[in-house]
Amino acid sequence: MSNALHDTLSVTKRLKGAGMNEPQAEAVAEAIHGSIRDATAHLATKKDLTAAESRLEATISSLESRLVWRLTLAMFTLAGLVVAVLRLFPP
């Protein structure tokens, strides 16, 4: 978020230059500043996104590890079943 959006002094000067008296210009600038702050408070920051990315990478890594173990177990189970079937019904 650009700091220019929160520059109340600049807004106050522009309003005063347009003919508004100082207390009114300051009040309007503060109201605009508050509105922008409230409207953008829920937005994610780069830091938020980086943290979420790290958590997702850790979760994916964990899922990959579990998947490899499960596939390995399934492979050995299937091999055992093939051996058992071949012993029960020799060719």
Q: Which two tokens stand for residue 9?
A: 């002094």
The number of angstroms, rounded, from the C-alpha of 68 to the middle of its chain's C-alpha atoms is 27
Nearest in space to 29 (alpha carbons), one of 46, 7, 52, 60: 7
For 29-70, write each residue's pLDDT tens digit: 999 999 888 888 899 999 999 999 999 999 999 999 999 999
For 6-34, write each residue's pLDDT tens digit: 688 888 999 999 999 999 999 999 999 99
Provide the whole-model pTM: 0.51
Report the alpha-carbon distance of residue 53 to residue 42 in Å, rounded: 18
For 66-89, write each residue's pLDDT tens digit: 999 999 999 999 999 999 999 999
